[in-house]
Chain A
Amino acid sequence: DQQVKQNSPSLSVQEGRISILNCDYTNSMFDYFLWYKKYPAEGPTFLISISSIKDKNEDGRFTVFLNKSAKHLSLHIVPSQPGDSAVYFCAAGPNSGGSNYKLTFGKGTLLTVNP
């Protein structure tokens, strides 16, 4: 029972173009969403997050969009750079302030940005 789904195992884009990574979730209790980036032999590093009270959050080249009615979020990277090549994980959690916060992750999408 996968509560967070990343249906594209991989994505390849040209340098300078937009990368769009998608994520769907099924659990209505999820209230906070994060994207993590993972390079080989390293742990996941936090990239950007969004609370359910917002539909968009921007940080430099990275923008996350949330569509609560569709239970869908996406990460846009503009412009894409070769250094962005990594596995991107979508993660979701309940409302903040809980006593023991845990994240539910998708399987990840391997992004390759070609020079």
Chain B
Amino acid sequence: ETGVTQSPTHLIKTRGQQVTLRCSSQSGHNTVSWYQQALGQGPQFIFQYYREEENGRGNFPPRFSGLQFPNYSSELNVNALELDDSALYLCASSLDPGAEKLFFGSGTQLSVL
């Protein structure tokens, strides 16, 4: 059974650029959620994807968008990067959209200069 994998592990971008982060869900999981963890903070919910559609969103602007593919893997896209977007981005998969237990990947550390 493979766990949640994320790529890349680290990324450096400049303000105004666009970035794409990738996530493969755990085997048997059909739902992917993305969280942002800023330095010194707990993870904050960005959105959830189920059946290739956004299925719930936190308090993040539209420049944060995502995709889910038929194999349940997912991408997080962030346009017009700002300095405050520097954070650890965590992907979590779950058995279904209503499951309480989330299984997290190791995250992508994004630095915006």
Contact = CB atoms under 8 A, between A and B. Distances in A.
Interface of A: 4, 6, 32, 34, 36, 41-46, 49, 89, 91, 93, 96-108
28 contacts: A32-B100, A42-B106, A43-B4, A43-B105, A43-B106, A43-B107, A44-B90, A46-B102, A49-B101, A91-B42, A93-B100, A96-B98, A96-B100, A98-B97, A99-B98, A100-B50, A100-B55, A100-B56, A100-B98, A101-B97, A101-B99, A102-B33, A102-B48, A103-B43, A103-B102, A105-B35, A107-B41, A107-B42
Looking at chain B, what size class is its interface with the partner chain? 20 to 34
B58 interface: yes
Nearest to B38: A107
Interface of A is mostly: loop
B17 to A, nearest CB: 25
Contacts of A42: 106
Given A104-B45, A105-B44, A108-B42, A99 B100 contact: no
Contacts of B102: 46, 103
